[in-house]
Structure 1
Amino acid sequence: MTALARHRRLSAAWASGPGWKGWFSTVNHSDVGRMFLVTAFFYFLVGGILAMLIRAQLATPHSAFAGPGIYSQIFTMHGTIMMFLFAIPAIEGMAIYLLPKMLGTRDLAYPRLTAYGYWCYFFGGAMLLVSLLFGIAPDGGWFMYPPLTGRIHSPGINTDFWLIGITFVEISAICAAVEFTVSILKYRAPGMSLARMPIFAWYMLVVSLMILTGFPPLILGSILLELERAFGMPFFQVELGGDSLLWQHLFWLFGHPEVYIIFLPAAGVVSTVLPVMASTTLIGYRWVVAAAVALAILSFGLWVHHMFTTGIPHMGLAFFSAASTLVAVPTAVQVFAWIGTMWKGTPRLHLPMLHILGFFVTFVIGGLTGVMVAVVPFDWQVHDTAFVTAHLHYVLFGGFVFPILAGIYYWLPLASGRRRFFRLGNVAFALIFIGFHVTFLAMHWVGLMGQRRRISTYAPEDGWTAINLISSVGGFVLAFGLVIVLIEIVLHLVVPRRSRRNPWGAGTLEWAVPMPPPAYNFASLPRVTSREPLADDPDLGVRLARGEGYLGDARGGLRETLMVDIATGEPEQHVVYPANTRLPLVMAAVTGVFFLSLLLKLYWLTPLALAGVAVLGWRWVWQLGSDTDLGCQPVGHGLALASASETDRPPGWWGSAFLLVANATLFGSLLFGYAFLWTVAPGWPPAAFMEPSLLVLVAAPAGAALAVAGIALAVRRNRIGGDPTAALLAALAGALCLAGAFALLLAGAPHPTGHAYGATLWVLGCYGLVHALLVALMLAFLLARQRAGYVSRSRRAELAIVPVWTGYLAVVTALILAAVYLPGFAA
């Protein structure tokens, strides 16, 4: 087969639908990555406009530009958009587009999940944007501290938009984190061991695990606050056993790792682009990976440094202050590795390198001010002043926007196949760099003089007028620079000036694909023997186009790729992806109906939306697998591999395992909140504990045991060629019995509006009930698949997935029963 014939066959299998309608059904990672990036930078534009409105308001004292109410909406939406709708989605979009190309594969692990995540982000962001347009946007700050955001002080719908819209958007982040984790660990080019992975992939693996363990506390906090606002469950009301500090703990358990979730991917871009700009390789590859891992771990031990002024014990102050300064060590390891790389090589001052140098200067200053606010006496002085706002922008803008701009200019020729014609980028960089430092150095200054954060006006006698005017002028200079960047990118895409292949002389695999990349990335998958395979073999792209790698036959119009061993990268399974479909769009829309029903208090619609999600989820999974035995499939180079549907660790098993990491973190955060209220909040322990129910104590363990034993027996029966139907029916009966036990627990629980104790028990019981029903749905699906002929002795993959969920349900059941009934027994 000729290279042209292979290209045509692969394009027919992988291409999106024709015209604009194809964007609604595409599941290709390049398409979805571009959609993420375009949407994220649209929100960056909106957030930037809001920032200019803030600077216009503060440029002069007693400004009548915006009243206090509108101003509160402006600064709240500015922070919300930049943190939730720009920063995380932008790096998700870049990673979605680049990772398969860097890893030497054809797509991410779950293409439909990628598309579903995008549409959740699109609809969730649209909810927040609509609230801004109609003047009912959130106005409690991007941190939403109760009791200010409780229904007493914020009775309108503004806060509900934030709580429900952000939770909707965070589904997208969880989807992306599961996608990236499984893709990086299991979907790589043959021979790409962990030690040979691109450094950007290491950073994204660390960040994905951080998202899975960092976002659930905020999701839980948003759920609890919305339950308090909608149904009167008093989680944060002191007079009813709640505590507003619980929100701060849950928020900053997310909020401080969030800073590093934003910074680390940008550091991955620097670690990738800088060596190419210096014509060398990265110094200390293993040390940089270790530093990224250490920084991720340490970031979860720092959340209380945002709460130094809340009256925590002195021992806690000392511990968290020391931990906050300790993060400078892994950060310094990365910085010195980058400096050593420049020293080793010969830096070329191309535009990406200019932005990296801007990153160095800005981020180091932000890091130094971060050490300052980690010192408790200094933090007491500058807490809640403009100094902290300036520090945050130095870390996030300096640590994220400069590297992202460097990455955009670096990979833009790859995505477009074109080179720059107009040289506007250098002027834009100068305006951005100068404007940024004028704006936020002035804010450091005025913060030290006592200007508070989030104030809408000030008096002339405060002495802040000149500094604020300078800061506002710098802000508009910064905005002009960013507008020029946008203009140059548009011109780049319009002017047809072809770029040569691999214009930077990089050694990583993404530059081995054609420019611009086809939908399938690689005509055949490469065999990797080093960290920079393209540097070892500059003709690699040509040889892959000839079909000299794996899966070069392009057979049957299938979307094929390989799964590999985690450590060694040796091929393990043959995977066939699903084709384009509008199912992710429809499912995201129905998910949006669920969130809208909560926002608009249309509770009769909520169960209908949940039923719709369940039906669509059933159809989603039903389309996978095969009703015939496929056996081992030839993948090239004389190698034949088992189909993923005929293995014990299929893609769905890995996705379930990492999704349950996020699920377990949310449940652990719920137990943490229960223990925190019990320990700290007034009115605990309550006057009367929940009475133990003998029926629940018998039915719940019995149901969990029957579900676990039933699915285990079904797996064993299927393995020896027997009929697993009876065992599956027993497991289903166990799950339904367990659901009934949780329903009885809820019926006997104290009223959830009387005290935080009863409200917490209700949430614990509902968590168990939802998971029991979910496992029952999975078992019913397995029964239907088994009866339809999709499950057999060889096609055992689906039977391997459900035991992960039943085992988790059993553990959760034991913990819920202990949390609900042990205090009563102890008393």
Structure 2
Amino acid sequence: MAVTAPATPVHAGSPRDERPIWRRPNLLRAALMFLVGAAFAYVLVGVLRTVNHYPNKWDDWNAILQVGLIAAPMFFLVGLGAFDYWFYWAAGKPTRPEDHSGHGAYSWRDYFRVNTDHKVIGIQYTVHSFVFLLIGGMFAMLMRAELAQPGMQFVSPGAFNGLFSVHASLLIFLFIIPVFAGLANFVLPLMIGAPDMAFPRLNALSFWLLPIAGIMMLASFLAPGGSFATGWTAYAPLSTTAPIGQVFFTMGVQFAGASSIATALNFLVTIITMRAPGMSFFRMPLLVWANFSTSLLVVIATPFIAASQFFVLLDRALDFNFFNAAKGGDVLMYQHVFWFYSHPAVYIMMLPGFGIISEVLAVKARKPIFGYRMMAFSLLAIVVLGFTVWAHHMFVSGMQAWIRVPMMITTAIIAVPTGIKIFSWLATLWRGVLRLDTPMLFALGFITMFTLGGISGVMLAMIPFTIHVSDTYFIVAHIHYVLFGGSLFTIFAGVYHWFPKMTGRMFDESLGKLHFWTTFIAFNLTFGPMHLIGIQGMPRRVADYAEQFAGWNLAISIASFVLGLSTLVFVYNMVASWRGGPRAPANPWRALTLEWQVSSPPPVFNFDAVPTVVGGPYEYGVPGAVHGVFREPKVPATTGAPTVAQPH
């Protein structure tokens, strides 16, 4: 039995902003302010160098570029209106009534401006992230074309280094991390019965920091000397001596990191303070638990990658010599600081997916999640243990040998809470009434692929094995089984699962299944053989290789092209279904959680009556089970009763 909200009212058109165009937030004003910011950077550097009697006062383009990469984006955000309300408040002006002119989407134009509606921001995040998936995927196709046979075919070794560096950076910082934030932005407030996120304006700013980071990384290809080519890890001292394109990565990561931290703080405050009446922590859906845990990781860990890139920037710009061993610097310090963020980042890219899989499996198996509380506690255990394993990335770095053994042990231990989740999902599936539609297929594909990636991860926890396969294609296979077979499969499952809620349309199920099977088969044919050639000694991050690996590399390249084409099936299905798919009912999956008890898409302010949570989120198969009820808005002398739908 499901509970439905009262009928959704018909909303009028978007409130109009009657101010002159130069005072209204818009992309034209933002573009003009971007140019003003670039000019400001030029003048600031010139004046400071003149005052301090430096040479090349007005034509030190390295200094101008580094200041400009900070100033121009900030001026762009000012022009876009991201700080309008805060400037108004800081100026001490009287409080003005909120007209909600910046809240909600009434036309496609509302997605191209600062918008405080969490549902609009969620769609902005998600669509933006998939654009960068396609760009990063095209870089991967170009790399595999180059590697289809030995020798140099299409790009130089330097350009190849730039391709894999930008490929990895875009897909980590501009796709996987933000797309999870996008799905959670849309779904999480609805799940907990909140009208919006706790800080809507900060939420809007968090999104608009991301296009800046992505464009900055892509713009590095235009820099003298080419794009940054130090990998997504940007190890020092290579990154402190690389051409100026490296600065685009250093600054881009700062903007992406600031976005992550602001979003995580927003999620934490929203989850802790804005849950509906009756929703205790142990009545929260596991997707909410997953994002709560992920947000803790982000807030604690992300400042460390920001620090690592600030160190690099200070070394490059002001000769601080943090990583110059000849002047007392410590090269290994960079790796310790970087990996203290970047191993927790693996769980930042996994825990939201764990929550998505729990939601999909419970609905599609029509069973309660097995071991709900242990599933929640295992998420928190991963948060704690995630900070104890960073140096397993450094087994061959030359660090003190004694550190390797405790890191090997903690790396093996962290498999335990992950194993709890795998067994819980399998127990949830056991004797369930399975509906093998597209979201369910991707969820099952995730369990198999992530388990294989986890097994190779346990192998890599062993010091002798890691020494043997370090910097080989075995590492490439492992990270892609975890982040593609793991994270991306959960992302596809989540997009298909909530697509009807986000768009009000149903997708084409046949195309969805075609997408799954082509992706699943081509993925395994692409990355499975990499384990074999990695053990045989095929090095990663090389544009050319020995003749003995030619056959396997040709097969891998062909499979990768099929994998790329499978993504186009997904894109076509999403675009065509969004434009003209069948209208989606409010609850096509017969789910119990609150987001499915409102219309598809939801009302602008989510709920026309405050929901009250009266049961758990996964009580499928329990007669009369209800997760939440909605009470009609009070009218004079009467009180509305809960509205309960008839059993399906």
Normalising by structure 1, we get a TM-score of 0.64
Give the Å deviation of 1:496: 4.1
Give the Å deviation of 1:417: 1.9
The 1:321–1:275 alpha-carbon spacing in structure 2 relative to 1, beyond 3 Å, is: same
Taking the aligned partners of 1:85 and 1:409, their CA distance within structure 2 comes to 20
Q: What is residue 237 of structure 2 aligned with on the other side?
A: 147
Tell me if 1:494 matches 2:579. Answer: yes
Taking the aligned partners of 2:609 and 2:12, their CA distance within structure 1 comes to 12
Tell me if 1:82 matches 2:167. Answer: no
Taking the aligned partners of 1:19 and 1:514, their CA distance within structure 2 comes to 18
Taking the aligned partners of 2:430 and 2:569, their CA distance within structure 1 comes to 32
Taking the aligned partners of 2:278 and 2:365, their CA distance within structure 1 comes to 27
Could you tell me whether the CA contact under 8 Å between 2:614 and 2:628 is conserved in 1? no
What amino acid is the match of 2:346? Answer: V
What amino acid is the match of 1:318? Answer: V
Could you tell me whether the CA contact under 8 Å between 1:10 and 1:520 is conserved in 2? no
Give the Å deviation of 1:132: 3.1
The 1:391–1:168 alpha-carbon spacing in structure 2 relative to 1, beyond 3 Å, is: same
The 1:191–1:533 alpha-carbon spacing in structure 2 relative to 1, beyond 3 Å, is: farther
Q: 1:195 aligns with which of 261, 271, 282?
A: 282
Q: 2:184 aligns with which of 90, 95, 100?
A: 95
Q: What is residue 124 of structure 1 aligned with on the other side?
A: 213
Could you tell me whether the CA contact under 8 Å between 1:509 and 1:533 is conserved in 2? no
CA deviation vs aligned residue, 1:146-193 (integer Å, no higher than 9, x gap): 111123xx1x21110110111111110011000001001111111111
Taking the aligned partners of 1:84 and 1:58, their CA distance within structure 2 comes to 25
Q: 1:184 aligns with which of 259, 267, 271?
A: 271
What amino acid is the match of 1:60? Answer: Q
Tell me if 1:312 matches 2:399. Answer: yes
Q: What is residue 402 of structure 1 aligned with on the other side?
A: 489
DSSP-derived class of the 1:242 partner: coil
Taking the aligned partners of 2:456 and 2:361, their CA distance within structure 1 comes to 25
Could you tell me whether the CA contact under 8 Å between 2:216 and 2:248 is conserved in 1? yes
DSSP-derived class of the 1:144 partner: coil
Q: What is residue 668 of structure 1 aligned with on the other side?
A: none
Could you tell me whether the CA contact under 8 Å between 2:190 and 2:595 is conserved in 1? yes
The 1:17–1:347 alpha-carbon spacing in structure 2 relative to 1, beyond 3 Å, is: closer
What amino acid is the match of 1:199? Answer: L
Tell me if 1:547 matches 2:633. Answer: yes
Q: What is residue 459 of structure 1 aligned with on the other side?
A: 546
What amino acid is the match of 2:251? Answer: I
Taking the aligned partners of 1:494 and 1:486, their CA distance within structure 2 comes to 12
What amino acid is the match of 2:231? Answer: G
Q: What is residue 261 of structure 1 aligned with on the other side?
A: 348
CA deviation vs aligned residue, 1:325-369 (integer Å, no higher than 9, x gap): 111110110000000000042221111111111111111110110
The 1:539–1:299 alpha-carbon spacing in structure 2 relative to 1, beyond 3 Å, is: closer
Taking the aligned partners of 1:52 and 1:180, their CA distance within structure 2 comes to 36
Tell me if 1:207 matches 2:281. Answer: no
Unmatched tracts of structure 2, length 5 or more: 16-98, 641-648
CA deviation vs aligned residue, 1:248-268 (integer Å, no higher than 9, x gap): 001100110011110110011
Taking the aligned partners of 2:604 and 2:479, their CA distance within structure 1 comes to 39
Taking the aligned partners of 1:133 and 1:481, their CA distance within structure 2 comes to 30
Q: What is residue 532 of structure 2 aligned with on the other side?
A: 445
- Describe how 1:126-525 pairs up with structure 2 within 5 A: 126-132=215-221, 136-151=226-241, 154=242, 156-421=243-508, 423-460=510-547, 463-525=548-610
Tell me if 1:22 matches 2:110. Answer: yes
What amino acid is the match of 2:290? Answer: Y
CA deviation vs aligned residue, 1:547-606 (integer Å, no higher than 9, x gap): 36xxx99xxxxxxxxxxxxxxxxxxxxxxxxxxxxxxxxxxxxxxxxxxxxxxxxxxxxx
Taking the aligned partners of 2:581 and 2:447, their CA distance within structure 1 comes to 34
Taking the aligned partners of 2:194 and 2:287, their CA distance within structure 1 comes to 15
Output the aligned Cα RMSD: 2.4
- Describe how 1:36-51 pairs up with structure 2 within 5 A: 36-51=125-140
Give the Å deviation of 1:195: 1.2
Taking the aligned partners of 2:368 and 2:256, their CA distance within structure 1 comes to 38
Taking the aligned partners of 1:133 and 1:505, their CA distance within structure 2 comes to 51
What amino acid is the match of 2:599? Answer: P
- Describe how 1:421-820 pairs up with structure 2 within 5 A: 421=508, 423-460=510-547, 463-532=548-617, 543=630, 546-547=632-633
The 1:316–1:496 alpha-carbon spacing in structure 2 relative to 1, beyond 3 Å, is: closer
Identity of aligned residues (%): 37
What amino acid is the match of 1:523? Answer: D
Taking the aligned partners of 2:480 and 2:8, their CA distance within structure 1 comes to 52
Could you tell me whether the CA contact under 8 Å between 1:356 and 1:406 is conserved in 2? yes
Taking the aligned partners of 1:372 and 1:420, their CA distance within structure 2 comes to 40
Q: What is residue 120 of structure 2 aligned with on the other side?
A: 31
CA deviation vs aligned residue, 1:653-683 (integer Å, no higher than 9, x gap): xxxxxxxxxxxxxxxxxxxxxxxxxxxxxxx
The 1:34–1:17 alpha-carbon spacing in structure 2 relative to 1, beyond 3 Å, is: closer
Could you tell me whether the CA contact under 8 Å between 2:438 and 2:509 is conserved in 1? no
DSSP-derived class of the 1:527 partner: strand
Taking the aligned partners of 1:106 and 1:137, their CA distance within structure 2 comes to 43
Normalising by structure 2, we get a TM-score of 0.81
Taking the aligned partners of 2:427 and 2:316, their CA distance within structure 1 comes to 54
Taking the aligned partners of 1:8 and 1:405, their CA distance within structure 2 comes to 31
CA deviation vs aligned residue, 1:801-825 (integer Å, no higher than 9, x gap): xxxxxxxxxxxxxxxxxxxxxxxxx
DSSP-derived class of the 2:320 partner: coil
Unmatched tracts of structure 1, length 5 or more: 554-635, 638-827
What amino acid is the match of 2:110? Answer: G
What amino acid is the match of 1:251? Answer: F
What amino acid is the match of 1:505? Answer: R
DSSP-derived class of the 1:423 partner: helix
Could you tell me whether the CA contact under 8 Å between 1:16 and 1:25 is conserved in 2? no
Give the Å deviation of 1:9: 8.2
Taking the aligned partners of 1:56 and 1:215, their CA distance within structure 2 comes to 35
The 1:537–1:116 alpha-carbon spacing in structure 2 relative to 1, beyond 3 Å, is: farther
Give the Å deviation of 1:25: 3.4
Could you tell me whether the CA contact under 8 Å between 1:114 and 1:179 is conserved in 2? yes
Give the Å deviation of 1:311: 2.7
Could you tell me whether the CA contact under 8 Å between 1:62 and 1:459 is conserved in 2? no
What amino acid is the match of 1:490? Answer: V
The structure with the largest alpha-carbon Rg is 1
Give the Å deviation of 1:239: 1.1
The 1:455–1:496 alpha-carbon spacing in structure 2 relative to 1, beyond 3 Å, is: closer
CA deviation vs aligned residue, 1:687-736 (integer Å, no higher than 9, x gap): xxxxxxxxxxxxxxxxxxxxxxxxxxxxxxxxxxxxxxxxxxxxxxxxxx
What amino acid is the match of 1:483? Answer: L
The 1:8–1:480 alpha-carbon spacing in structure 2 relative to 1, beyond 3 Å, is: closer
Count of aligned positions: 546
The 1:85–1:129 alpha-carbon spacing in structure 2 relative to 1, beyond 3 Å, is: same
Could you tell me whether the CA contact under 8 Å between 1:30 and 1:97 is conserved in 2? yes
Q: What is residue 708 of structure 1 aligned with on the other side?
A: none
